[in-house]
Structure 1
Amino acid sequence: MSRSPALVIRNLRVRTVSVPLRLPLETSGGTIGMAPLVLVDLDTEEGVTGCAYLFCYTPLILRPMASLLVELGEVIQGAEAAPRSLEAVLQRRFRLLGNKGLTAMALAGIDMAAWDALAKASDLSLVRLLGGEPGPVKAYNSCGLGLIGPDRAAEEAVQLLEPGFRAIKVRLGYPDLRTDLSVVRAVRAAVGDDIVLMADYNQMLSVPEAIERIQALADEGLYWIEEPTNAEDYAGHARIREKAGVAIQMGENWWGTREMAKCVAAGASDLVMPDAMKIGGVSGWQRAAAIAGAAGLPVSSHLFPELSVHLLAVTPAAHWLEYADWAEPVLETPVRIEDGHAQCPDLPGAGIVWNEEAVERYLVQ
C-alpha cells in the first residue's frame, strides 16, 4: 500500500437529497421510488476534500442522519484523517450504545470519505491506494425488476440488458409460488439461456415457505437466491441452504463484520455480499474480505457501485458487482459499464464527484 500524506480534518459538510429512480423498485417491503441520500464532504486543512454518500432507504431518517454526522464532525475536527484511527475513536464513543443502524451508517460515511481524501492527496485512485490495479469487474443490473408481474418483468428484463449487461436480478415474493415461477419463466424466455439470472426474496418468507419455493425453483436456472427469510435468522438460512438446490446469498444486512462472522460460522450462505455502508466502509470491507477469503466464499457487493468497483478490484475472491444507478443523477462521473463489466476508474480518489447543479435540484432542506 502506498504511503499517504497526513491530512488534518477541518470540517464535515453534510447535505441531504432525494433523487428519483429511473425505474421504481417494487419489493415485498414496499415501493422505492426515490433514493434518499446523505452527501458527505470531509474537508481538510490541506485543501483536499473526501466525498462519500449514504443511502438511507427512507426519507424519514435523512434529517436524523444529517444531524448525527454534523455532531460527529465536531468530534473529529482537528483530528488526522486516518481511517483506522478515526474508527477507533468513534467506536469508543458508541461502545455502550452499540454500532448498528444510524450510528454504523454515519461512521461508515466518515470512513469512506476519509479514504477518498487520502487517495486524492496521494494522487492515486482508491484501488491503487489499497494496493491493487484498476480493471473490469463483472456486474449485474439490479435496477428495477420488482414485483411487477410476468409480462412487465419480461419487458423490463430486456431493457436492463441494453447497456451491455449479461446478468440481471429479479425480485420475488409474490402472494403464491405459481406467480414466482411464472415471473422467472417469463424473464428467462425474454432474455435467453445465456443471461445470468439472480433472484431476491427480500426476507419475506418463513423458513418452511422458503424451502418449498426454492425447491420448486431449483430447476429454473437461477444463479443465486438472496435472503429468503429474516436476515438475522442464520440457523434458518442454514436449514434452507441444506435443502435448496440453489446457491443462497446473504450479506447486505450485516451490521459489521462480527455479524458476518456469525453468519459464516453458522453455514448460512454459499456466497457473501457485504454492503459497503453497513459493513463499516472501506475499513470494514477489508475485514469482510479477509473473513470471506478464509472461509473460501466468493464476495459480491451490495449497492454503492462507485466505491464497490474499487473494493472488489482488491478482493481476491471478487465475484459480482451489483449495479444500481440510484446515485447517478447527482454524480459527475457514474460507473461506466462495458461488455457486462464495471470499469474501475484510474483517477484520484473513489471517483465520487458531485454534479452540483443536480444536487441543488434534489436538495432536501
Structure 2
Amino acid sequence: MKIEHVSCKGYRIPPSIPWEDATNKVQWLEIIVVELKTDTGLTGTGISYTVDVGGKAIVALLEEYLAHLVIGMNPLHYEEIWYKLQRQSRRLGLGVNSMAIAAIDIAVWDVMGKHYGQPLYKLLGGAREQIPAYISEINLRSDDTIEKLLERVDSYMEQGYRTVKIKIGKPDIEEDVERITKVQERLGKDGRVLVDLNQKLSSVDSIALLSKLDDLNLGWIEEPLLFHDVHAHKLLKSRLKTPIALGESLHSKHQVLEYLKADAVDYVQADVAFVGGITEWLKIAHMSNAFGKLVAPHFMMELSLHLLCGVQNSYMLENVTGGSFSELGILDIPITVENATGVPSQLPGHGIVLNRQQLSQYEIREHAASTFVGGSK
C-alpha cells in the first residue's frame, strides 16, 4: 500500500459559545484537515488546529513541503513517516511544524485502522472500552456572576458530571476562592473541582497566591506558570500539596520529559495535535507511565477518547463546552459524551466523519483578508 495523494484545507470556526480565560479572549479555532489517499482506495482524515493564529501557516507548510514528502510511502510505516517529516522540518523549531506533522500522522493512523478493520483505541492498546469525563469551561468574562456559574454547574450535574473545571485568575484571588467554594458546595461531597490559570502567574507571586487555594481540596491546578519554566513549576510543586497539571503548551516528548525528570508535574495533558500526532502522543503516554503519572490529554475530545481508552495510565476525558466537533456542527456522525462517560467510535480508524458541506462555509480562502483583532490580555 502506498500514499498517492495528500490534500489540505484550513477552516476558521468560532466556538459555539464565547470563550474567555485569564489571559485570552478567543476569536476562533483554526482547524486544519488533511485527506490522505492510498493506491488501495483507503483514505484517512487527519486533523490539527490552532487557537486564533497560525492556521494558514500550517496549511502552507503542509501544501508546499510536507505533503510531498510522504507520496509513495507505506502508511502502515507510521514511524518512518513521522521521523521523515520531523527531520525535514526540525530547523523550524517546535510548534508550527509539530502541529502540521500531526495532521498527516493522524490521517496515517486513520488509514491503519481502516486497513486492519479496527477502531483506533484498539490499535493503541485497547486498555478500556470507556472513560469518565469532566466538563471544562472557558468562561472568565467580567460580566459572569457566581449565580450564572452555579446555574451552569446545575446543568452539568443534570448531565451526570461530578468533576468540573473552571477558569480562575481574577484580579483578586479571593474572588477565585469564592467561586471555587461555591461550586464545591453545589457539587457536593462526591464532586471535584479542577482549576485552570492559563499561565497567568509569575514565578515570583505564584507560591504566595496559590497557597490560598491549597486547603480547598482541588483536583488540580492547571498551567499556573509560563509553559517553558520547568524550574519554577518544580519549586511550586514542592511547596503545594495540590497536584499540578500541564502539557497542553508543550510540543514534544523531550519537553514533557524535562518536567517528568524534574518531578514538576502530576497530570500530563499533552495535546495530540500540538505534539505531532498520535505517534508522538503515544510515546509521551508510555513515558509518563514509567514515571507513575496519569495522562489527561487537552481538548480534541473525539481523538482523546481513543487515546485514553488505548493506554493504561489514563485519567479523565476533557469535554470543553462549546468546542467539541459536534457542538461546532461539523460532524456527519455525532460523537458525544453521555452521563459523563466517553465511549470511542467503533468504526475502523478514528471514526471522525466530517460534514464537508458544513465545513465549507468556514474555509480560509487564500487571499481573504483576516479579521483577527487579537484577544490576549
In structure 2, distance between residues paired with 1:44 and 1:63: 25
Deviation at 1:238, TM superposition (A): 1.0
> 1:14 and 1:95, CA in 2 relative to 1: closer, same or farther beyond 3 A?
closer
> 1:96 and 1:203, CA in 2 relative to 1: closer, same or farther beyond 3 A?
same
Q: Give matches, 1:200-349, under 5 Å.
A: 200-324=196-320, 325-328=323-326, 329-349=329-349
Q: Deviations over 1:141-164 (max 9, x none)?
A: 114333434333222333334433
Amino acid at match of 1:336: T
In structure 1, distance between residues paired with 2:153 and 2:140: 10
Q: Deviations over 1:236-287 (max 9, x none)?
A: 0111111112111111112110001111111111221111112221111111
Residue among 151, 160, 167 paired with 1:164 = 160
Q: Give matches, 1:1-365, under 5 Å.
A: 7-58=1-52, 60-71=53-64, 72-81=66-75, 82-98=77-93, 100-132=94-126, 135-147=129-141, 148-324=144-320, 325-328=323-326, 329-365=329-365
Amino acid at match of 2:131: V
- Given that 2:5 and 2:36 are in contact with CA atoms closer than 8 Å, whether structure 1 keeps it comes out as yes
Identity between Structure 1 and Structure 2 (%): 29
Amino acid at match of 1:87: W
Amino acid at match of 2:99: M
Deviation at 1:357, TM superposition (A): 2.3
2:373 corresponds in structure 1 to none
SS at match of 1:56: strand
- Given that 1:271 and 1:297 are in contact with CA atoms closer than 8 Å, whether structure 2 keeps it comes out as yes
- Given that 1:52 and 1:352 are in contact with CA atoms closer than 8 Å, whether structure 2 keeps it comes out as no
More displaced 10-residue stretch of structure 1: 296-305 or 321-330: 321-330
Amino acid at match of 1:97: L
> 1:18 and 1:95, CA in 2 relative to 1: closer, same or farther beyond 3 A?
closer
In structure 2, distance between residues paired with 1:130 and 1:42: 20
- Given that 2:78 and 2:108 are in contact with CA atoms closer than 8 Å, whether structure 1 keeps it comes out as yes
Amino acid at match of 2:262: A
2:375 corresponds in structure 1 to none
- Given that 2:49 and 2:55 are in contact with CA atoms closer than 8 Å, whether structure 1 keeps it comes out as no
- Given that 2:237 and 2:265 are in contact with CA atoms closer than 8 Å, whether structure 1 keeps it comes out as yes
More displaced 10-residue stretch of structure 1: 176-185 or 28-37: 28-37
In structure 1, distance between residues paired with 2:286 and 2:213: 32
SS at match of 1:29: coil
2:372 corresponds in structure 1 to none
> 1:159 and 1:144, CA in 2 relative to 1: closer, same or farther beyond 3 A?
farther
Deviation at 1:134, TM superposition (A): 5.5
More displaced 10-residue stretch of structure 1: 106-115 or 46-55: 46-55
Unaligned segments of structure 2, at least 5 residues: 366-377
Deviation at 1:32, TM superposition (A): 1.7
Unaligned segments of structure 1, at least 5 residues: 1-6
- Given that 1:105 and 1:280 are in contact with CA atoms closer than 8 Å, whether structure 2 keeps it comes out as yes
More displaced 10-residue stretch of structure 1: 311-320 or 128-137: 128-137
In structure 1, distance between residues paired with 2:15 and 2:222: 22
- Given that 1:124 and 1:348 are in contact with CA atoms closer than 8 Å, whether structure 2 keeps it comes out as yes
In structure 2, distance between residues paired with 1:194 and 1:362: 41
Q: Normalising to structure 1: TM-score of the pair?
A: 0.92
Deviation at 1:93, TM superposition (A): 0.8
Amino acid at match of 1:327: F
Q: Deviations over 1:144-200 (max 9, x none)?
A: 333434333222333334433221110111112111112212322333332221100
- Given that 2:219 and 2:242 are in contact with CA atoms closer than 8 Å, whether structure 1 keeps it comes out as yes
- Given that 2:302 and 2:325 are in contact with CA atoms closer than 8 Å, whether structure 1 keeps it comes out as no
- Given that 2:48 and 2:103 are in contact with CA atoms closer than 8 Å, whether structure 1 keeps it comes out as yes
- Given that 1:312 and 1:318 are in contact with CA atoms closer than 8 Å, whether structure 2 keeps it comes out as yes
SS at match of 2:304: helix
SS at match of 2:160: coil
> 1:307 and 1:42, CA in 2 relative to 1: closer, same or farther beyond 3 A?
same
